[in-house]
Chain A
């Protein structure tokens, strides 16, 4: 028991270390001392303005990676628990296609750029993700029997339909193609503090909500019927899980676009580390997601410098092989 609490603290320390390292990495390499000095508020004696680089460019980006990774990792753990399915990720109930449709609609309508702050495009993405989750939940509830299977099926139907609409919009508005594709690939670049402050509270609220649902999620791992026999109000709990996970996912997607794989693999890594009780698994998955996304973003910023790769492409590209290695190591 105590040991697993300590492991969460261990993850926090790793996250802090990776975060500090990420502040130092970039076109202008800073020493650890310079980073700490800048954070402490001193302008530093370095010729170039280290304080500005840290505070205006890198710190918001690092904070954003932490927020997005946290939300995706925790939501992934919750959905894997709710659906008893190791393949579930934050996007199973349609958050990615919903946000893509929302954002694409705004872009096609000539809405404000998402690059600066929590503008119209992120708002469209947020509303699209929440809207998709609502449609999925209402259809599953209307369908009635086997509520959890209903959620999965409705999620898949809505994803497919919304995905097709995004393609349609791309064909009809080929002048906006570049911006739409840029959104779909997901990136943490050039967002600034506005995105952190805009998305952070929603991610935090969602993750806290998921942590409060840890005992119901444990019970659900035994199956719907056994959980109900323990007194679990299934519809209420599945609604609450979908609501909290959708909030975290929608906010993450709104500020960063669709970033795949982090929400799928983070819970698997965390499970190997802290076990399956959601009390530990949910926060550990969030922290693991944050660490993974930070590392991926460091790579995206530096590997082809001065060109920045979209981190969403990188997570999907590296996530696949990484996942295979992790799973192979666990089963051996």
Chain B
């Protein structure tokens, strides 16, 4: 299950270092993402998930290494070339925007149509399709400021789709969503990856979500890539204990058989007598 094989690698990262100012947040990161698959980035806060996504979106210049998209260098090919092929949906809220759903999705076409030329019939068709795929037709004319978190996440996805990307980057697409919306968004992302042949890279907080929905997982920690591969290979107690610095139990998902992570309390110190929970058995495992 290792990275390179006869299937097509859309996105290849080789010995990448990225960060802000003088500080490397991540270094020596090498990985590849196939067309039609989903790679989940996991790691504790500050491990560089967002930094890596922003670097892949060409918003942050890499400090070393290469990023190749369909065998072409992302940074050397220029801004326009890159933004026609890579779309990112970050956690940003609609902020003060007073645009409507459709107007926001339209902006996805700017990467192709440029900033001055009028939109064409093709653009209108693609915008309509993106709205349809994300089930937003009903909300077309709604101001984005009035949307729920789940609806806004779908708008971000629709805008990214209108961009017709080869690579789709999502920064915590399930953050702040209720369970039903989390499932809905992740299902949609996997479906889009399969149907459109997108290479999807997304960061997630929830390890179990990654285990169920992602094809492969990259675990970031200690300023680099700690492990990458299929969920079953990456999500081991050793890897997770090292990355997150806390003990976990790895079980099997009762339906899918994928790894399922259950947190454990740390071993109780000898003198902490007033602790309410019984931890004796846990500590013995």
Chain A residues with a Cβ under 8 A of chain B: 84-86, 212-213, 215-216, 218-219, 221-223, 225-226, 228-233, 237, 271, 275-277
* B96 & A230 in contact (Cβ 8 Å cutoff): no
Interface centre among A219, A225, A229, by most B CB within 10 Å? Answer: A229
20 contacts between A and B (CB under 8 A): A84-B97, A212-B116, A215-B107, A215-B116, A219-B110, A221-B97, A221-B99, A222-B97, A223-B92, A225-B59, A225-B90, A229-B57, A230-B108, A230-B111, A231-B83, A231-B110, A231-B111, A232-B110, A275-B98, A277-B103
A residues less than 8 Å from B92 (CB atoms):
222-223, 225-226
Complex contact B96–A277 (CB within 8 A): no
**Chain B residues with Cβ under 8 A from A212's Cβ?**
116
CB-contact partner of A276 in B83, B84, B98, B115, under 8 A: B98
Query: Measured between C-beta atoms, what is the minimum distance from B85 to chain A in Å?
Result: 11
Contacts of A228 in B (CB 8 A): 59
Contact B57 A219 (CB under 8 A): no
Within the complex, the shortest CB–CB distance from A169 to chain B, in Å, comes to 38
The chain A residue with its CB closest to the CB of B111 is A231
Number of B residues near A (Cβ < 8 Å) is 29
Using known A-B contacts A222-B92, A222-B104, determine if residue A230 contacts B163 with beta carbons closer than 8 Å. Answer: yes
Are A229 and B108 touching (Cβ within 8 A)?
no
B115: which A residues are within 8 A, CB to CB? Answer: 213, 215-216, 219, 232, 237
The reply to whether A229 and B99 contact each other, CB–CB distance below 8 Å, is no
Does any Cβ of A come within 8 Å of B95's Cβ? Answer: yes
A252 to B83, CA, bound (A): 38
* Chain B, 169-205, CB within 8 A of any chain A CB: none
A86: B residues at CB distance < 8 A: 96
Q: Which B76-93 residues have C-beta < 8 A from chain A?
A: 79-80, 82-84, 87-88, 90, 92
Which residue of A has the minimal Cβ distance to B86? A229
Q: Is B150 an interface residue (CB 8 A)?
A: no
Task: Please judge, given known A-B contacts A229-B57, A232-B115, A276-B99, whether A219 and B90 are in contact too, CB under 8 Å.
Answer: no
For B82, the chain A residues whose CB sits under 8 A away are 231
Contact B80 A219 (CB under 8 A): no
Cβ distance A285 to chain B, nearest Cβ, rounded Å? 13
Write the nearest CB–CB distance from A87 to chain B, whole angstroms: 11
The answer for the CA separation of A229 and B58 in the assembled complex, in Å, is 8
**B94 part of interface (Cβ distance < 8 Å):** yes
With A215-B110, A221-B99, A228-B59 known, 18 other A-B pairs at CB within 8 A are: A84-B97, A86-B96, A215-B107, A219-B115, A221-B97, A222-B94, A222-B95, A222-B99, A229-B57, A229-B83, A229-B90, A230-B163, A231-B79, A231-B110, A232-B110, A275-B100, A276-B97, A276-B99
Q: Give the nearest-CB partner of B94 in chain A.
A: A222
Residues in chain B near residue A277, CB distance under 8 A: 99, 103
Q: Knowing A232-B110, A232-B115, say if A85 contacts B96 (CB, 8 Å).
A: yes
Which chain B residues in 99-142 approach chain A with CB under 8 Å?
Answer: 99-100, 103-104, 107-108, 110-111, 115-116
Contacts of B80 in A (CB 8 A): 231
A85 to B97, CA, bound (A): 10
CA gap between A229 and B82 in the complex, in Å: 9
Residues of chain A contacted by B97 (CB below 8 angstroms) = 84, 221-223, 276
Cα(A219)–Cα(B80), bound, Å: 15
Tell me the smallest distance from the CB of B53 to a CB of chain A, in Å.
Answer: 10
B21 to A, closest residue via Cβ: A145
Across the interface, do B107 and A219 meet the contact criterion of CB distance under 8 Å?
yes
> Per a CB cutoff under 8 Å, which of B84, B90, B96, B103 touches A231?
B84
Decide: A222 near B107, CB < 8 A? Known: A84-B95, A230-B83: yes
Distance in angstroms between the alpha carbons of A219 and B110 in the assembled complex = 9
Q: Within 8 Å CB of A219, what residues of B?
A: 107, 110, 115
The residue in chain A whose Cβ has the minimal distance to the Cβ of B98 is A276
Contacts of B95 in A (CB 8 A): 84, 221-223
**In the complex, A131→B97 CA distance in Å?**
31
CB pair B110 A221 closer than 8 Å: no
Q: Chain B residues with Cβ under 8 A from A213's Cβ? A: 115
B107: chain A residues within 8 A (beta carbon): 215, 218-219, 222, 230
B residues in contact with A271, CB < 8 Å = 98
Of A85, A226, A232, most B-chain CB atoms within 10 Å: A226
Distance, CA A218 to CA B54, complexed state (A): 22
B residues less than 8 Å from A275 (CB atoms):
98, 100
Contacts of B99 in A (CB 8 A): 218, 221-222, 276-277
The CA-CA distance from A229 to B53 in the complex, in Å, is 11
3 closest A-B pairs (Cβ-Cβ)? A231-B83, A276-B98, A221-B97
Identify the closest chain B residue to A84 (Cβ).
Answer: B96
If A216-B115, A223-B92, A226-B90 touch, whether A233 touches B108 (CB-CB below 8 Å) is no
Q: Is the CB of A233 within 8 A of B59?
A: no
